[in-house]
Amino acid sequence: MNKIKVSSVSYTNSKPFIYGLQHSPVSEQIDLSLDNPADCAQKLIENKVDIGLIPVAAIPFVPNAQIISSFCIGSVGAVNSVFIFSNLPVEEIKTVKLDLQSRTSNNLAKVLLKKHFKVEVSFTTDQTAETDAIVLIGDRTFGKKDDFNYAYDMGEEWMKFTGLPFMYAAWVANKPLPADFLKDFDTALAKGIANITTVIEGLPFTTGIDMTDYLLHKLNFELTADKLKGKELFLSLINEVNV
């Protein structure tokens, strides 16, 4: 049987998943690549992989998209790796530089700024532009909070706005896959979540973040009904802010 091609985010937040996939029998059934979120999504959209851990805002663009796991990357409140950084208070922000690596976080920033903070801003993807604020996600946020006067954790702000948890990325397939494989895949992910302390022990020391707190308490990996409810609300709000 041909191996099933899987693209996972390479950030620290997905390390438990990677550990589980690499230390389970399903490893013999998959061809695993590690990418940034935008590339994960593009590979799945272009049918270069069969499964991707993709930003939820990219799901509508995936042909035949189906969430295939009971796990995701989410948070119930603050996540500590998805930020709007600024030297101005949010009510004074007029321009925002977006992060090229994640459609979800960029759209979440647009939703929160317009619907929650109620400010009108302009956005740019020009990484050389001077702006009042920037969107930054993942490992590149570690240790950055002290570089700015204001750090708005978008997981925390989404919870304040909606009362719901947030799902940043989901395991999505672009075609039907064997039920036995999907069961083995989910079992492997569960093994990774069960071994987070082992994962932490194997990570290099990183300044600017408490890795134990981040992986065990800030991130929440269970795909719950409330996270799905939050996802649907988020996708509907994206359409409103992008008109």
70 & 104 share domain: no
Q: CA–CA separation, 184 vs 179, rounded Å?
A: 9
Domains held by the chain: number: 2
In a domain, 121, yes or no: yes
Is the alpha carbon torsion for 4, 10, 14, 15 positive or negative?
positive
In a domain, 187, yes or no: yes
What pLDDT score was predicted for residue 130? 94
In a domain, 125, yes or no: yes
9 & 67 share domain: yes
pLDDT confidence tier of residue 1, bands split at 50, 70 and 90 = low
CA within 13 Å, CB half, 199: 25
Mean pLDDT across the chain: 95
What pLDDT score was predicted for residue 242? 80
| Whether residue 243 has pLDDT greater than 60 | no
67 & 122 share domain: no
Q: Which CATH number characterizes residue 95's domain?
A: 3.40.190.10
| Whether residue 89 has pLDDT greater than 80 | yes
In a domain, 235, yes or no: no
| Whether residue 2 has pLDDT greater than 90 | no
In angstroms, the Cα distances linking 79 to 96, 134, 219 are 20, 17, 6
pLDDT tens-digit series, residues 196-223: 999 999 998 888 899 999 999 999 999 9
62 & 125 share domain: no
pLDDT tens-digit series, residues 158-175: 999 999 999 999 999 999
| Whether residue 39 has pLDDT greater than 60 | yes
176 & 211 share domain: yes
Structural tokens at position 207: 């300044």
146 & 26 share domain: no
CB atoms within 10 A of CB 130: 8
45 & 156 share domain: no
Is the alpha carbon torsion for 139, 97, 87, 80 positive or negative?
negative
In a domain, 242, yes or no: no
- Closest to 233 measured CA to CA, from 56, 62, 19: 56
pLDDT tens-digit series, residues 116-170: 999 999 999 998 999 999 999 999 999 999 999 999 999 999 999 999 999 999 9
- Closest to 74 measured CA to CA, from 224, 197, 187: 224
140 & 183 share domain: no
What pLDDT score was predicted for residue 34? 96
DSSP reduced 3-state for 152:
strand
Tell which of 162, 185, 213 closes a domain: 162
69 & 182 share domain: yes
pTM of the full structure = 0.93
User: What is the Cα 243 distance to its own chain's centre?
Assistant: 24
23 & 61 share domain: yes
What pLDDT score was predicted for residue 103? 85
150 & 194 share domain: no
Torsion of CA 45, 175, 30, 37, to 10 degrees: 30
Structural tokens at position 134: 């920037």
Q: Which domain holds residue 89?
A: 82-162
In a domain, 233, yes or no: no
In a domain, 236, yes or no: no
Q: How far apart are the first and last CA of the chain?
A: 45
Q: CA–CA separation, 187 vs 185, rounded Å?
A: 5
58 & 92 share domain: no
Q: CA–CA separation, 183 vs 178, rounded Å?
A: 9
Tell which of 112, 129, 162 closes a domain: 162
